[in-house]
Structure 1
Amino acid sequence: MLQFRRDESAVLDRLIDDVGSGESRALVLRGESGIGKSALLEYALGRAAGWPTVRAAGVESEQELAFAGLHQVCAPVLDRLPGLPAPQQLALRTAFGLAAGKPPDRFVVGMAALGLLGEAARDRPLLCLIDDAQWLDKASAQVLGFVARRLRAESVAMIFAVREPADGGEVTELAGLPGVRVGGLSDDQARVLLESAYPGPTDKRVLDRVVAESHGNPLALLELPRGFTRAELAGGFGLSPVVLPGRIEESFRRQIATLSPMTRQVLLVAAAEPVGDPVLVWRAVDRLGIAVDAEAASREAAERFVDFGPRVRFRHPLLRSAIYRAATGAERRRAHGALGQVTDPVTNPDRRAWHRAQAAEAPDEAIAGELEECGRRAHDRGAATAAAAFLERSAALTPEVKRRGQRLLAAAHATYEGGMPAAAPRLIALAEATPLNALEKAQADVLYARCAFALGRGRDATESLRQAATRLQAIDAATARDTHLEAIRGSWFLADHAPGLTLREMAEAARSSPRPGPETTSDVLIDGLAIRYRDGYPAAAAVLKEAVAEFCVKAPTGDSGLLLEWFAGSIAVDLWDDASWDLISRRYEQRARDEGIAALPIALTMQIVNLVMQGELASAGSLLEDFDAVRQATGIFDAPYAGLLLAVWRGRVEEAAELLDAMTDDANKRDEGVTLIAVASMHATLLNGLGRYQEAAAAALRATEPEREMGFITLCALAELVTAAARADQPDTAARALARLTAMTEASGTDWALGVTARCRALLAGRDSAETHFREAITRLGRTRIRGELARAHLYYGEWLRRHHRQDDARRELRTAHAMLTEMGADAFAALAARELGVAGEKVRKGAKAEPSTLTAQETQIVRLVRDGLSNAEVADRLFISPRTVEWHLSKAFAKLGVTSRRHLRR
C-alpha cells in the first residue's frame, strides 16, 4: 500500500534525516480509521532501523487510568531516570505510582518526560511512535503534547497517529503540532490494491461497489470483502448504508462469527484486558471454567486476528472494539469479572477495581468504595481527570442515594480541577437531583458559578457567584467570604459595565458578610478593596500595601489560596510594586500548575505580563505557548491579554491588529469592560512605539475617559496618554492625564510608579527642569525590574537631548536605549531609537543588533540565565526546555560570542 503513499513517506524521510543529524521533530498523522496511519508508523520504524524505539498506543478502555499512555512511552527508558534532577525523578515516579508524595505538577512531569527522552537519545537518536493517540488518557496526552512542543536538539523523533474528529474526537492537546492528513486512495489506486488482494474471479460490479463504498480507505478495501464467499464476491452483495468504521467493524464481526466458541472467548478476554499481558489473559480464561485448548485457540486467533507474543497485539485497533462489541453484555461482564479476579489487588488495584466495576450487574457499595479509593489515588498522582472518571463510576454503582450525591459532587469538583469546566455542570445537576444537605447545595452553587466564570466571565457568572456567596453566609462564613472575593474578581472583569454588579457593590457586600473568626490577611484584603472602590485608589493604598506585604511573607493557604494569590498579585501590580509582583506572580503560576489547572490560564497571563514588563520577551513567548496549549486542552476561557501585550512590545503590527479586533468583538459580546479598557491601553502603547502619536492619544483617551479606575491598566493608559499627547500638541490633555497619574503614583510611592511619573513630567516640563526629571526617571527605573520602561526613559531622554542640540549626549542615551530594546526584541521601539540615532548623526546599519544581538532571542535568554549562575538543568526548568536543548543553544552562543567557558561568559 505504501507505493501509493509517496508524499507521506517523503515527509517521514525528511523527519528521520533531520533527527539523524541532531535535531528533534514531532509530527501528527491524522486520518480516518484504516486509512494507513499505522502502516506509515511502521515505515518510519523501518527508516530508523538501528535506533532505539519506544512505542505506545492509546487504548479506549484505559482512558480513565492516569498516565497509562505516558507509562508506555517512558517504561523502556526508565533506566535513564537517575540522570534527571531529583524533583523531576520524584514527579515521574509519583505519577506512575512508583513512589508516594504530593500530587505532582503536571508541567514538572512534562519536563521529566522531556528530559528522560533526551537522556535516552544521548548515544543514538530515539524514535517514539504513538498510535491511536485519540484514546490516550488526558494526563498522558497533555504531557506528551507538552514534550512534543519543546523538542529542539535532543535527537528525538515523536510521531503520533490520530483518528480524525469523525472517528474519535480531536486531540486538542496535540493541536498546533506539525501534521499530515492521510487521505484516501484514488479510485484507480483502490482498484489496484483490491485486485491484488483478491485475485481470481470477481464481479466487476462488486469491485466497483467496494471501491465506491470504501472511499479510498485501504483497510475497508481489504476487509469489506472478507467473510463473504467466493460466490458472493463473484455474484454481488449488498453493503449496509452505515458509516465506514461501522462497515469495517461489521466485516470483522462476520469474520469473528466463523471462529470456534472457545477462540471467541479468548479474543473477548484479550480485548477486555488492555495491558496486553498474555499470562493474565490465560489465567482469566481458566478462571471462567471453560475447557480451552489454549494452543489451538491461540493458533486459530493468531492466524487472522491477534499475536500472542510477549504482549497481546491485535492486527488492527478496530479489531479490539469489534470483538468487544460483538459480545453480549453478559459475556463482557463475565470476562471483566474473571480479569478482576486474577488482577493483583496490591500491584494493580486501580485496574482490578475497573474490571470489577465493568463486571457489576447492579449497584455495589464495596466496588463503589474501591473506585472512590482509586479516585483518591489518581488525585494524589496529579490526575484530576482520572479521579473524576473513577468517582463518577463510583457514584453510578452507589446504592444509597445520599452517598451517591456526595460522590457525584466530588466527581464534579475533580472534573473542574482537571480543567474541564464544561463537563462539570452535568455532574452537578445529577448531584442536585439527590438529597443534598444545605452545605452541599451551597457548594454545588459555588462550583456551578466557578464553571460559568471559567467558561465565560460574563454578567451571569458574576451574578451566580454573588448569589452563592449570599446563600453561604448563614451556612459557612469562611467559604462565603471567599466566594464574595470571587464575585469581586468577576465584577473587576466587567469593569462596572453591568449595573447592580459594580466593584463598589461587590466589595461592600464582601465587607459586610460575617467574619468566621479572628482577622486574617483575607479580611485585610477585603477591607482594602472596599475602601478602594468606595473612596478611591489613594485612600486605600496604605491598607493594600499592608496586605501585599503579608502575602509576600506568608503564602495564603487552604482552598482559597489560589484566589488570594490572584488578588495579591493584582494588587501588587496595581501598586506598581515590581518586587512583590514578581515574587507573587511566580508563586501563583507555580501554585496553579501544582493545584488547579482551572486557574492556570489566568496565572500564566499574570506571569507573562510580568515578564514582558521586565523586558523578558523571549521567556514570555515561551510561557505563551503554555497558555495556548492549556486553553486549547481545557476550553477554559481567558482573553489573550498576554498575547496582545507581547505582540505590542514586539512591534508585530498585523498580529496585534488581529488580536485587537478579536478581543474588542468578544468583549462587547460578553460585556467585559476591562478588556475594552486594556485593549485601548495596549493599542496606545503599540502606536506610541510606531511614533503615531495622534492615533496613540485617541486610543489612550478611550482607555481613560470612562474615569473608571482599573489600577495597573489605568496607570499604563494614563502614562501612554501623557506620552502621546505631549507629542501630538495636546498639552491640556497631557496635563490632565499627568494629574490623574500623579495622584495614584504618589500614593504608591514605588520607584516604578515615581520613575514613570518623572518621565511623563519631563515630557511636559520646560528646558530648565526636564533634564532633572529624565535623570530621576532613569535612576528610579534603574532600581526596578521594569527594563522596558527604563529603555523608553533613555529613548525619550535621548530625543530631548538631540532636539536641544547636545548630539554626543543624545547618541549615548539613544545607543543605550537601542541596545536594550534590541536585546529584548522590542522591535518597534528599537526602530524608533535607530531613527533618532540616525537623525543624531550615527547611522545604525540595517539589520545590525547591539551586543549580544548576534544571538537569537532564546540564546540571549539562556546566556543571561547562565551568566546569573544557573546550571543547565536550572535553565531548562526555567524555560521549559530540555537540558540537551540548553547545551545546544549555549554551544552556539559561545561560538558567536567568542567565549569558551561559563566563567569567561560571566566576565
Structure 2
Amino acid sequence: MLFGYIPERAATDDLLRRTRDGSGGVVEFTGEMGSGKSALLDDAAEKAADMRVLRAEGCRSEARYPYALLGLLLNPLAGQVSELPDEQGSQLHRVLWGGERDTVDRLRVCHAVLALLGAAARERPLVCLVDDLHWADRESVEVLSFVARRAGTQPIAWFTSERESLFANSGHTSTAGTRMPLRGLDECEATRMLKTRVPDLVPSVRQRVVAEARGIPAALCDISHALTPTQRAGSINPFTLYDGTPSSPTSAHAEFHERFGGLPESTVLLALTVAACDSDDLSPVRAATYDLGCRDEDLDHAERSGLLEVGASTVRFAHPLWRLVMYCNATAVQRQAVHTALSESDTPHAARIWHAAAASYENDAVAAGLAEAALHTPHEKAYAAYDRAAAHATERGRRARYYMAAADSAVEAGLFDEAARLADAAAAVDLPAQRLRVAKVRAAVDGERGTAAEGPNPRIVTLLDEPLRLREAEDHVTHCRDSGAGRRLPYALLALGIALLGEDEYARAREVFREGLELCEETGRPNCAVLLKSHLAWCAACEGDEALSSVLAQECRAHVERHHGPAVAPGVVLWAHARADMGRARYRGALGQLTALWGSEGVPRSAGVAADLVESAVRSARSGLAERPFKWLTELNSGQSAQMVAFSSYDGLVARCQALLSEGEEARRWYEEAAMIFEKHGHRVEWARCELLYGEWLRRSRRRREARKHLHAAEAVFTECGAQGWLWRVRSELAVCAGKRGGRPSRSGLTEQEANVVRLAAHGRTNPQIAEELFLSPRTVANHLYRAFPKLGVTSRDQLGALRPDEACY
C-alpha cells in the first residue's frame, strides 16, 4: 500500500491514460535515498497490468559496463530484433548480446532501439520502468534519453527514478517529460504509514520516529524496525533515541560504508556525538567533542563529505538514516565515551542524567538521578526513567520499588503491556511489601485486556447493574481533563456513558462514547475502543438504529477474534442484538442471543440480562427457559448484604418477571407493583417497558381501553428518552388495539384478526413470528392469510407492502 504522493500518482495515472490513447511521455521521479521512488514505479507497474511492461534497474557494480542497463531492459524483446531492418538489427545485436561495442555507431543504436520499442508498442501499449538510473552506465543513459525524448509520438510510457536528473545532465531533456522531485511524506501520512506497517509502536514513540525520519518512507521503516520491542512499547531514552538499540543492517548500511568508511577516527567520534545527542544545537556537541580530541577541522570534514549539515549554531545528519547507522555501528567503548562526554557537558540536568545512564551499567547514583527526573516528567517518560533506574539499581528492594513505580506510571500512561512486564519484573524480586501493588497493576492490565477473573464475584455482579452516580462520573471526567490524565480519560468517558444510560439519557451517552472512541484512535487504545464501541452498539439498539448497531457489533466481534480483546465486549454486543429483537417483537431471536450470553464464559451475569431473558422466554412460549435466570435474579436480590450496594430497581425487575410468569389478577398485581417501584426510583425507560408489557397483557385480556392508556404512556416516555427501539412494538400494539370489536369485517371485508395478521405480514414478518406476536398457531396465521388475500385482491404476501393502510383497513 502506497501512502501519500498524491500529485505523483496523479501524474502516473495521466501518463498511462495518454499512453492507452496512443501517445506516450516521460515521468521522472527524483529524490534522496529511500524517498519512495521505487514504490512509485511499483505503483505504475500495478496500474499498467493491461499493458506490456519492461523493467530494469541500475546496478552500481555494472555501471562500468557499456549498455548493461539497456540490455536488461530490452532482453524480453530479444526475439523481435530479427524483425528489424538488417542494419539496425545487426547493430543492436552486436551492442547488447554480441559484445562488440567499441565499433558501433551510437546514433544508429538509438534509432534501432526506437524502432524495436515502436514495433512492440504497435502490438500493445508499452510501459518502460527504469529504477536507480543514477547507477546506470553512461551509454545506456544516453540512448534512453534519446528514445524517451521521442516517446510522445508513440504509445510508450517512460517512468524513471534517480537521485539526480540524469536526463537533464545528458543534455537530452524531453520537453514532453514531467520531472517530479519527491519531498517525502507529511506528518499525517507518515503517521498513517507507521500505524499500518509498524502497529506495535506506541503513540509517543511513533511521534519520535516521524520527527526523526523527516518524511522519508525508508527511514520510517528502518528506524522503527531497529528499535527493540521494549523501545517500541515506549521505554526509550528521551535524549538519545537509539540508546540500547542493537546493531542491525538497514537499507543504508552498504552505501554508508562506501561513502564514509574512510573518515578519520576523530571525525567519526564527532559524528557519533551528534548521533547520541537528540538536539540540533551545536554548542553541546562542540563542548563534548573537544574533550574527545575533536577539532573544528573534523566538523568541516564531516560537512564536506556529505555526512553532516552544519549551520551557524545547528548541526544534523544530511540523511536521517546516517544517524541510525552511525550510532548502531559504533562500538560499545565509543558510545560510552561519547555519552560520558555529553553527561559532563553544559546540558540540562535531565539530559546529563540520561547520558550518564547510557554510559554506565549498575550505578545507584545514576538510578537515583533517573528516579528524581521521573518525578518531574509526564507518565510516558517517567515510566521509562523508572525502568532504566531499576536496571541500574544494585540493591533488590530499591530495584523492586523502581520497577513498581515504572509499572504504575505505565498504567497511568496507558501502556498496559509494559505495565505487565514491569509488574512481573517486580514480582520476580518477591518482596512481600510489593505484592499488593503488583496485584493492583495486574488488575488494571486485566481490565484493559478484558481478561475476566475466574469465578463470579457477587459484589462485581451487583455493581454491573448499579448505575454510577452521574455526578461522580462527570467529576471523574473533569478531573482527568484538568489533571492531564489523558490516558485515563477514555475509561472515564466509558463510565460516564454507562451512567448516562442508567439515567436513560441515550443521546448524551452516544456523544460521550463517540468522544471516547476518537481518543482511543488517537492514542492507540484498541481494547478500550472495543468496549466503547460495544456500548455504543447497545445504545444504538435502544435508539432504534439497528443498522449502526449491527455494523458496530461486527467490528467488535472482529477485533475480539483477531486480538483476543475484552471478553465483555461480545457479551454487550449480544445484549444489543437482543434488545433490537425485543423492540421488534422478534422474541425467538432475542431468546437465542440472550441464552448464548447467559452461558458464555468470561462475561459476568447481570440482572438486566436475566430480566430480558425471562421476558423473551415467556413471549416465545418457552417459559421453562425462564426458570433459571428468574431464580438467579431472586436469589441475587434477596441475598444482598449490608456490604453490597443494591441496584435500586432490583425489586422492580423481579416483580416484572413475576408478572410475566403469572396469570390473571396475580399478573395484574405484579405489573402494577413493578411500575410503582420503577416510578419511585426514576427509572423511566424501565417503567415504560413495564407499561408496555402491562398494556400488551390488558389487550390480550380484551381490556382495550385500559391497554391504550398504558401503551400511550409508554409511547410518550420512549419518545421523550429517545428510546426509539421500543416504539415499533408499542405502536404495533396500539394498532391492534384500534381494531373493531367483535371480529366484524372492515370495509375491505377483513375481520379484526385478519387485519392484524395482514398488517404484520406486510411488515415482512413470517408466519411463526406473527403467531408468536398474536398468540396464535402458525397454521391459524396461514388460514387467516388464505382468507384475506382474495378480499384484498392479492395473490401473495409480497404484494401486501404495496397496499395503502386504508385499502387494507389495518
Instruction: Please report the TM-score for the alignment, with normalisation by the length of structure 2.
Output: 0.51
- For the pair 1:619 / 2:511, whether they are aligned, the reply is yes
Equivalent-residue separation in structure 1 for 2:575 and 2:627 (angstroms): 18
Q: SS of the counterpart of 2:417? A: coil
Q: Considering only aligned residues, what root-mean-square deviation do their CA atoms show, in Å?
A: 5.9
Residue 839 of structure 1: how far off its partner (Å)? 5.4
For residues 779 and 279 of structure 1, the distance between their equivalents in structure 2, rounded to whole angstroms, comes to: 78
Query: Hey, what does 1:388 align to over in structure 2?
Result: 383
Whether 2:609 is the aligned partner of 1:717: answer yes
Contact 2:303–2:309 (CA<8 Å) still a contact in 1?
Answer: no
Match of 2:358 in 1: 358
C-alpha distance after superposition, 1:748-805 (max 9, x if no partner): 8866334445555565666778777667656654565645434534554565676644
Measure, in 2, the Cα distance between the counterparts of 1:655 and 1:283: 60
Per the alignment, residue 324 of structure 1 pairs with 327
Q: Secondary structure at the match of 1:394?
A: helix
Show the counterpart of 1:249.
253
- Residue 274 of structure 1 deviates from its aligned partner by 0.9
Distance 1:699 1:439, change over 3 A: same
Question: Is residue 689 from structure 1 mapped to residue 583 from structure 2 by the alignment?
Answer: yes
Partner of 2:80: none
User: Is the Cα–Cα contact under 8 Å of residues 755 and 778 in structure 1 kept in the other structure?
Assistant: yes
Return closer, same or farther for 1:646/1:34 CA change in 2, 3 Å cut-off. Answer: farther
Partner residue of 2:278 out of 274, 280, 293: 274
Question: Cα–Cα, structure 1 residues 660 and 323, in superposed 2: closer, same or farther, change >3 Å?
Answer: closer
3-state DSSP of counterpart to 2:296: coil
Name 1:789's counterpart in structure 2: 686
Aligned partners of 2:223 and 2:324 also within 8 Å: no
The residue type equivalent to 1:392 in the other structure is D
Cα offsets for 1:181-220 (capped at 9, x unmatched) = xxxxxxxxxxxxxxxxxxxxxxxxxxxxxxxxxxxxxxxx
Partner amino acid, structure 2, of 1:356: A
Q: CA deviation at 1:300?
A: 2.3
State whether residues 317 and 323 of structure 2, in contact with CA within 8 Å, keep that contact through their aligned partners in structure 1. Answer: yes
Q: Report deviation, 1:608.
A: 3.9
Residues of 2 paired with 1:709 and 1:334: CA distance?
54
Task: Tell me if 1:813 matches 2:713.
Answer: yes
Inter-CA distance 721–631: structure 2 relative to 1 (3 Å threshold)? farther
Structure 1 residue aligned with 2:535: 642
Q: 2: distance between equivalents of 1:737 and 1:259?
A: 79
Contact 1:395-1:407 within 8 A present in 2 as well: yes
**Shift in CA distance, 307/801, structure 1 to aligned 2, threshold 3 Å:** farther
Residues 1:300 and 2:276 are matched in the alignment? no
CA-to-aligned-CA distance 1:383-417 (integer Å, 9 cap, x gap) = 1x422322232233345566445544544554455
Residues 1:354 and 1:810: Cα distance change in structure 2 (over 3 Å): same
CA shift, 1:692, in A, is 1.4
Contact 1:588 1:603 (C-alpha < 8 Å) held by counterparts? yes
1:422 alignment partner, SS class: helix
The counterpart of 2:546, out of the listed 643, 651, 657, is: 651
Distance in 1 between residues matched to 2:299 and 2:224, nearest whole Å: 35
Alpha carbons of structure 1 residues 618 and 700: separation in structure 2 relative to 1, 3 Å: closer
Structure 1's 664 and 329: CA in aligned 2 closer, same or farther, altered over 3 A?
Answer: closer
- 2:318 is matched with 315
CA distance in 1, matches of 2:353, 2:206: 25
Are 2:490 and 2:528, in contact at CA under 8 Å, matched by a contact in 1? yes
SS of the residue corresponding to residue 723 of structure 1 reads helix
C-alpha contact 2:684 2:717 (8 A) present in aligned 1 = no
Contact 1:687 1:695 in 2 (8 A): yes
Report the AA paired with residue 354 of structure 1: W
The structure that has the greater radius of gyration is 2
TM-aligned CA distance change 1:841 to 1:251, over 3 Å: farther
Structure 1's 800 and 717: CA in aligned 2 closer, same or farther, altered over 3 A?
same
1:814–1:787 distance in 2 versus 1, CA, 3 Å = closer
Query: How far apart, CA to CA, are the structure 1 residues paired with 2:663 and 2:735?
Result: 25
Distance 1:401 1:677 in 2: 44
Q: After superposition, give the CA deviation of every residue in 1:580-625 in whole Å (9 maximum; x if it has no partner).
A: 5445555667788979999888766554433334342413532551
Equivalent residue letter for 2:616: A
Partner of 1:552: none
Change in CA separation of 1:818 and 1:273 when aligned onto 2, cut-off 3 Å: same
**Distance of 2:354 and 2:510 partners within structure 1:** 45
Identity of aligned residues (%): 22
Residues 1:772 and 1:394: Cα distance change in structure 2 (over 3 Å): same
Distance in 1 separating the partners of 2:314 and 2:687: 62
Distance 1:769 1:810 in 2: 18
Cα pair 1:457 1:490 within 8 Å, conserved: no
For residue 720 of structure 1, report the CA deviation from its aligned partner: 0.9
CA distance in 2, matches of 1:425, 1:750: 34
- Asked whether 1:397 is paired with 2:392, we answer yes
The total of aligned residue pairs comes to 534
Please say if residues 598 and 636 of structure 1, whose CA atoms lie closer than 8 Å, have aligned partners that are also in contact. no
Paired position in structure 1 for 2:14: none
Partners of 2:525 and 2:616 in 1: how far apart? Answer: 40
Q: 1:490 aligns with which of 441, 445, 453?
A: 453
* Code of the aligned partner of 1:367: V
Post-superposition shift, 1:642? Answer: 3.4
Matches of 1:765 and 1:433, distance apart in 2: 59
Specify whether residues 281 and 779 from structure 1 end up closer, same or farther in structure 2 by C-alpha distance, changes over 3 A only.
farther
| 1:306 match: secondary structure | strand
Output the CA distance in 2 between the equivalents of 1:332 and 1:309: 26
2-structure distance, mates of 1:722, 1:452: 35
Q: Distance in 1 between matches of 2:734 and 2:624?
A: 30
Describe the SS at the equivalent of 1:247. Answer: coil
Closer, same or farther: CA 788–8 of 1 in aligned 2, 3 Å: farther
- Equivalent residue number for residue 168 of structure 1: 224
Are residues 399 and 755 of structure 1, via their aligned partners in 2, closer, same or farther at CA, if it must alter by over 3 Å? closer
Question: Residues 651 and 829 of structure 1 are in contact (CA less than 8 Å); yes or no, is this contact kept in structure 2?
Answer: no
Q: State the partner residue of 2:498.
A: 609
Give, as a single letter, the amino acid of the residue that structure 1 aligns with 2:357: A
CA contact (8 A) 1:276 1:312 kept: yes
Q: Compared with structure 1, are the counterparts of its residues 664 and 791 closer, same or farther at alpha carbon in structure 2 (3 Å cutoff)?
A: farther
Of the three residues 650, 658, 665, the one matched with 1:753 is: 650
Q: 1:761–1:3: structure 2 CA closer, same or farther, 3 Å change rule?
A: closer
C-alpha separation in 1, matches of 2:734 and 2:511? 28
Q: 1:285: which partner in 2?
A: 289
Q: Name structure 1 gaps, 5 residues minimum.
A: 12-31, 41-126, 146-158, 176-242, 459-488, 496-502, 505-528, 530-566, 844-907
Give 3-state SS (helix, strand or coil) of 1:490's partner. Answer: coil
* 1:314 Cα deviation from its structure 2 partner: 3.6
Alpha carbons 1:284, 1:335 under 8 Å: kept: yes
Question: Corresponding residue for 1:867?
Answer: none
Q: Which amino acid aligns with 1:612?
A: L
Q: SS where residue 376 of structure 2 aligns?
A: helix
Closer/same/farther in 2, CA of residues 315 and 811 from structure 1, 3 Å limit: farther
Residue pair 2:191, 2:206 contacting (<8 A) in 1 also: no
Instruction: Measure how far apart 1:251 and its partner are.
Output: 1.0
For 2:386, give the aligned amino acid: L
